């Protein structure tokens, strides 16, 4: 018996969300009186044994180059073999892009009940129930899983990473790897920017900024805070900003520690994508903007006056000129 954590990587590096699920998995294992193991697919340049500080005792590494490209069908079969090797009764994924592609497949393959979008540790006092967000963050549901093997896909930023001491034993898993049916022909990444879904801080702006030429100050603020930039739907629809920056009901749903919304009124569709943020700051010149009702902190004022002052004040705090 064990808890198995899928350690997601990108370009051979362990993703930040993987550290969250490792910490979470270790806690679940503690609850169940068992140990946590991990599985890594593909080759990596990182020292996997160092992940032991997040509580993982043993890592199954399938260091097969064929797994450096993602194909959910192939990955599912390999993770199923790792689940068997580790005798996993609970399998944990991050509910990130890879998790969303693999976890449902693995659920079918292992006939294991899946809770996707989990936001808390399981309640094992009476059966096995896991809290998840539903209705786009407007409510939660407790999902009871009755199958022998259970799969949890944990929402990014829902569980805090805790690093302690320890080293993991890394063992090579010689798994059968099918030929991928999906061929990856091109990858484009915005270099140097913080990926939106994983960002701790997000600086977002809306129509209040009046035009794409005014985004310089948003980008400056974001850079200062090591934040990702985002935007509202009208801004993406007007092509002021790329579509992948659109947060909201029909765009990306995010849950950063800090969400700063500038010149966004806060339509219900927008709130649905950001209401899981821990702290929300709203800057809007309209005191009646609905976003203020969902905010923790707010300033009623003109973005073009507030943002430079805000940036200057943060520079002062951080001691940068």
Residues 168-187 that bind another protein (CB under 8 A): 181-187
Q: Which is nearer to another protein, 53 or 77 (CB)?
A: 77
Please say whether the beta carbons of 209 and 215 come within 8 A.
yes
Cα–Cα distance list, 301 to 284, 291, 310 (Å): 6, 14, 12
Touching another protein, residues 65-84 (CB under 8 A): 70-73, 76
* DSSP state for residue 174 in the 8-state scheme: -
Quick one: which of 31, 220, 244, 290 contacts another protein (CB under 8 A)? 244
Nearby residues of 60 by Cβ (< 8 Å), 6 or more positions away: 37, 38, 39, 40, 82, 85, 86, 171, 173
Distance from C-alpha of 169 to C-alpha of 52, rounded to nearest angstrom? 8
Min separation Cβ 236 and another protein, Å: 8
Binding segment for another protein (CB under 8 A), chosen from 27-35, 39-47, 51-59, 103-111, is 103-111
| Residue 163 interacts with another protein (CB under 8 A): yes or no | no
Q: Which of 107, 157, 204, 265 binds another protein (CB under 8 A)?
A: 107
Q: Which is nearer to another protein, 181 or 213 (CB)?
A: 181
Rounded CA-CA distance 180/42 in Å is 13
Q: Is 249 in the site for another protein (CB under 8 A)?
A: yes
Closer residue to another protein, CB minimum distance, 28 or 112: 112
Rounded to an integer, what distance in angstroms lies between the CA atom of residue 310 and that of residue 312? 5
**102 near another protein (CB under 8 A):** yes
The contacts of residue 18 (CB under 8 Å, 6+ apart) are 5, 6, 7, 8, 9, 94
Give yes or no for residue 309 binding another protein (CB under 8 A).
Answer: yes
Binders of another protein among residues 16 to 75 (CB under 8 A) are 70-73
The footprint of another protein on residues 111-150 (CB under 8 A) is 111-117, 129, 132-147
Q: Is 222 in the site for another protein (CB under 8 A)?
A: no
Q: Whose Cβ is closer to another protein: residue 88's or residue 168's? A: 88
What is the maximum alpha-carbon separation in the chain?
Answer: 61
Phi-psi region of 111 (alpha: psi -120 to 50; beta: other; left: phi over 0): left
Cβ neighbours around 69 below 10 Å, total: 13
Residue (153 or 175) nearer to another protein, CB: 153
- Report CA dihedral (200, 206, 208, 210) to the nearest 10 degrees: 120
Report the b/e string of 287-306 with b at 16+ CB within 10 A: eebbbbebbeebbeeebeeb
**CB 108 to another protein: min, Å:** 4
For the bound state, the minimum distance from the C-beta of residue 279 to another protein, rounded and expressed in Å, comes to 5
Least distance to another protein, CB of residue 138, Å? 5
Whichever of 173 and 247 has its CB closer to another protein, that residue is: 247
| Least distance from another protein to the Cβ atom of residue 8, Å | 9
160 binds another protein (CB under 8 A): no
Per-residue x/- track, 252-281, another protein (CB under 8 A): -x---xx---------xx--x-----xx-x
- Among residue numbers 284 through 303, which ones bind another protein (CB under 8 A)? 292-302
| CA pair distance 149, 109, nearest whole angstrom | 11
* 151 in Cβ contact with 115 (< 8 Å): yes
């Amino acid at each position: 018996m064990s808890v198995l954590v899928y350690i997601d990587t990108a370009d051979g590096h362990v993703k930040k969300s993987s550290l969250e699920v490792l910490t979470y998995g270790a806690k679940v294992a503690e609850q169940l009186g068992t140990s946590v193991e991990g599985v890594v697919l593909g080759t990596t340049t990182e020292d996997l044994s160092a992940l032991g500080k997040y509580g993982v005792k043993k890592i199954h590494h399938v260091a097969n180059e064929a797994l450096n490209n993602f194909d959910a069908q192939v990955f599912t079969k390999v993770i199923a073999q790792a689940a068997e090797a580790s005798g996993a009764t609970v399998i944990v994924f991050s509910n990130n892009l890879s998790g969303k592609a693999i976890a449902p497949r693995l659920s079918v393959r292992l006939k294991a009940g899946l809770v996707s979008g989990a936001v808390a540790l399981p309640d094992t006092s009476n059966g096995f129930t896991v809290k998840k967000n539903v209705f786009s963050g407007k409510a939660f549901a407790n999902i009871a899983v009755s199958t022998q093997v259970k799969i949890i896909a944990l929402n990014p930023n829902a569980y805090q990473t805790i690093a302690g001491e320890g080293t993991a034993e890394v063992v090579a898993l010689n798994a059968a790897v099918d030929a991928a049916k999906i061929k990856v022909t091109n990858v484009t990444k915005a270099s140097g920017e913080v990926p939106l879904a994983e960002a701790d801080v997000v600086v977002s702006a809306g129509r209040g900024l009046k035009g794409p030429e005014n985004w310089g100050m948003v980008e400056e603020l974001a850079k200062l805070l090591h934040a990702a930039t985002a935007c509202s739907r009208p801004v993406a629809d007007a092509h002021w900003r790329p579509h992948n920056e659109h947060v909201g009901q029909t765009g990306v749903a995010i849950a950063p520690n800090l969400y700063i919304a500038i010149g966004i009124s806060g339509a219900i569709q927008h709130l649905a994508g950001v209401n899981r943020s821990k702290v929300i700051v709203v800057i809007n010149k309209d005191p009646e903007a609905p976003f203020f009702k969902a905010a923790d902190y707010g300033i009623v004022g003109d973005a073009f006056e507030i943002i430079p002052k805000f940036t200057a004040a943060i520079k002062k705090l951080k001691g940068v000129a």
